[in-house]
Structure 1
């Protein structure tokens, strides 16, 4: 064996070990950097994802209206989610704002609540819209004995339809249930609101004062 070859092999092995150590240190450093970035950005990423999947705005108004109208704040949030996903908009039927109040319903609520200066444009104001929507929801609950399903059915399909469905069920000597509702849209609406209500209860208990 050449006396010169042995030191060369040892030198090559040392370089390989040094390269391996450097790669390991680089990998450890990269993992540490990723961990630090996750610590910094993961909460905001979670908030951003939650904002997309289950948005919540105007929670101060929702809490205030829930207390004033003796309503579940999560139920108000669930209705807003089902109606507009917290985005101010106007439907093809003319319903406006976060809780999608129709012009006729808004005028009737204004008369019942003393809103003598009310204008349809006011429905774009979250305070007015949520106040009117909460009032109507409370009115429906009072009308149907605090039955949330019937109140939501009336909110979506109108009192006249719900009254007809109840009368039909009574003719058959039973109570009206979701499956008895002939409108698929209304059945889906009720399910959507109730699921959203439960989601808001579990996701935003502090924000909604629950």
Structure 2
């Protein structure tokens, strides 16, 4: 009887120790919320004055850091840029030629184009990064229409008023990851 009691006590203590390690462990959180391509994200974010945490959150939401992805709607690469949008960015930013294959398979190219586009959206929406993220998903014309007509005020508190369910969930998901990354990687 005593041996069985000792084994149970040891088992409970071991489980408690494992639980504490998992709950208080940064390594577990970093394992669950990794950031790949950190150098490329940092460089592109710095080039255009956008937050690297936000770029990482968009990548996580779009492709979970997997290159070579094409969406059902035709968006390409790590940051899921539509080909027409990519062509517009390349022209406006004065980048060298960017092919669809480069967008699809080269993380550095996708991140550079996506970060530039995010900065452009941020400027279009007067540094309202919530509206910029919504526009990244739904297009700037739709978001401008929602803001101008009073359908949505551009804040995270009223995200439920975004008419497109996909965009509403996208904004929530991006800012969930954004906040996680800011907590986990403060010096990113």
Q: TM-score, normalised by structure 1?
A: 0.71
Runs of 4+ in 1 over 6 A off after TM superposition: none
Aligned residue among 140, 144, 159 for 1:163: 144
Contact preservation (8 Å) 1:55, 1:85: no
Aligned to 1:96: 76
Aligned to 2:10: none
1:2-81 equivalence runs, <5 A: 47=27, 50-51=30-31, 53-81=32-60
How many pairs were matched up? Answer: 167
Distance 1:175 1:204, change over 3 A: closer
Structure 2 counterpart SS, 1:98: coil
Please give the root-mean-square deviation of Cα atoms over the aligned residues, in Å.
2.7
Aligned to 2:11: none
Aligned residue among 175, 182, 207 for 2:153: 175
Aligned residue among 116, 137, 147 for 1:135: 116
How far off its partner does 1:204 sit?
2.1
Q: TM-score, normalised by structure 2?
A: 0.79
How far off its partner does 1:99 sit?
0.7
How far off its partner does 1:66 sit?
1.6
Unaligned runs of 5+ in 1: 1-19, 28-33
Contact preservation (8 Å) 1:55, 1:86: no
The reply to whether residue 147 of structure 1 matches residue 147 of structure 2 is no
The separation in 2 between residues aligned to 1:57 and 1:135, in whole angstroms, is 19
